[in-house]
Amino acid sequence: MAGSSLAVTYRDPDLTLPMDCEIEAAVGIGYSHPEIYGFHALDSYQCLAERRRGAETGVKWVQCLQGDTMWKPLDDGLISKKTFDAALARVCNQPDQVRGRNDSALYLFEYLDGLIGAVFMLPGIAAGTSAALTLKGEPTPMATRFEERTEPRHPHFAYLLKGIERMIHTGRPSYPIERTLLSSGILDRVLTSRIQSHAKLLSPELAIHYKPVDYPHAPKSDLRSDP
């Protein structure tokens, strides 16, 4: 239950991905510090990606790319451009200025079931955290921004606290703690890749299997209800 508050925050537009859906492509966008906000971007991305058919199976390898090379997977078609564009549109109104910054990075990884994971960290360009997913048979990606409202009193933290309260009262995690373990593990590996000349790193320790649960995000949890 130590995951990001963005997994349970308000979403703009409000998006609930159906369980056991067939995800063909998924792209996340993050901003600011590559470690702190990298975790928020990965955890909010994972709360959607984990709902794919077959549930979560874990990650095979990870890589951090920067500079011109971070755009090659997008240009070569490994990452869906229409899915990337949909995610970017939720947090950036200057898409022509995205490339060319030295502080940007791509957190690239492959799940054990073959889905390519891609989270672009775009400080100075993105104005928030977003994700977009393209489902099988659907021509248009679904995209949302994970809101960080400041009033009243940063309310997304209240929804994180509600999940913790429920766990304390029931003795069971409100949603899988394995998600946080996987998101943290991906972050650790991509930051290691960054300082190891952006090498692709096999990650057998990230073969983390779990089933997601349909836990609601804000404002669908009643903060005053009994746990």
What CATH number is attached to the domain comprising 64? Answer: 3.30.360
| Banded model confidence at residue 169, pLDDT cuts 50, 70, 90 | very high
pLDDT at 226 over 90: no
Contacts of 162 (CB under 8 A, 6+ apart): 8, 221, 223
pLDDT digits (tens, 9 = 90+) for 185-221: 999 999 999 999 999 999 999 999 999 999 999 999 8
pLDDT digits (tens, 9 = 90+) for 94-110: 888 899 888 999 999 99
Six-digit token pair at 63?
């890589």
110 assigned to some structural domain: yes
Q: Percent of the chain, pLDDT > 70?
A: 100
β-partners of residue 63 are: 108
Sequence letter at residue 112: L
The dihedral built from the CA positions of residue 160, 50, 220 and 135, taken in this order, carries a sign that is: positive
pLDDT at 127 over 90: yes
pLDDT at 227 over 90: no
- Alpha-carbon distance of 189 to 63, in angstroms, equals 8
- Alpha-carbon distance of 109 to 10, in angstroms, equals 27
pLDDT digits (tens, 9 = 90+) for 18-77: 999 999 999 999 999 899 999 999 999 999 999 999 999 999 999 999 999 999 999 999
Q: What is the pTM of this model?
A: 0.96
pLDDT of amino acid 100: 86
Contacts of 127 (CB under 8 A, 6+ apart): 31, 91, 92
140 assigned to some structural domain: yes
30 assigned to some structural domain: yes
136 assigned to some structural domain: yes
pLDDT digits (tens, 9 = 90+) for 142-154: 999 999 999 988 9
pLDDT digits (tens, 9 = 90+) for 13-28: 999 999 999 999 999 9
pLDDT of amino acid 156: 94
49 assigned to some structural domain: yes
Taking a C-beta distance cutoff of 8 angstroms, is the pair 188, 39 a contact? no
pLDDT at 1 over 80: no
Six-digit token pair at 175?
């949603």
| Residue 52 DSSP one-character state | B
Range of the domain at 48: 20-147+177-206
127 assigned to some structural domain: yes
167 assigned to some structural domain: no
Query: Total domain count for the chain?
Result: 1
Taking a C-beta distance cutoff of 8 angstroms, is the pair 73, 101 a contact? no
Taking a C-beta distance cutoff of 8 angstroms, is the pair 95, 84 a contact? no
Taking a C-beta distance cutoff of 8 angstroms, is the pair 34, 191 a contact? yes
pLDDT at 90 over 90: yes
Six-digit token pair at 157?
């933290």
218 assigned to some structural domain: no
pLDDT of amino acid 20: 97
Mapped onto helix, strand or coil, the DSSP state of residue 138 is coil
